[in-house]
Amino acid sequence: MSKPFKLGFIIGFILGIAVAFMLDFAFRDTLGGTWFDAVSQDLSRIMKKEISKDSPLVFIGVTSVIMFIGLIGGILGGIAAKIVFEFLNSLDS
C-alpha cells in the first residue's frame, strides 16, 4: 500500500466512525433510539428472546457495526487520497 492510501484510509476510518457517532447523537430521539436500541431489538427478534441493551452481545454487535462503517470509510478515503495524489503528481509532470 502506498503512503497516500494509508493516510487516506486512516482519515476516512476516523471520519466514518465520527459520522456514525454524530448521527447517533443527533437523531436518537427522532429515529426512535440509539445504535444499542436497534441492535438489541434486532437480536431479540432473531433469537426470539428479549435481550437487554446492556448485554455484552449487544455491545459486540454495536462495535462490529461501527467498525464496519469505519472500514468502508477507510477504504473510500484511501481510494480518494490515491486519486488526489495521482492527480497532483500528473500536474507536476
pLDDT in tens, 26-67: 877 777 778 888 888 888 998 889 988 888 988 998 899 999
Residue 93, pLDDT score: 72
Residue 2, pLDDT score: 86
Mean pLDDT score of the chain, rounded to an integer?
89
79 in a structural domain? yes
- Spatial contact of 79 and 86, defined as CB atoms under 8 Å apart: no
11 in a structural domain? yes
More confident of the two residues 74 and 93 = 74
47 in a structural domain? yes
Res 13 pLDDT > 80: yes
Percentage above 90 pLDDT, the chain? 51
72 in a structural domain? yes
61 in a structural domain? yes
Q: Which domain holds residue 31?
A: 3-88
The domain total for the chain is 1
| Torsion over CA: 36, 40, 41, 43 (sign) | positive
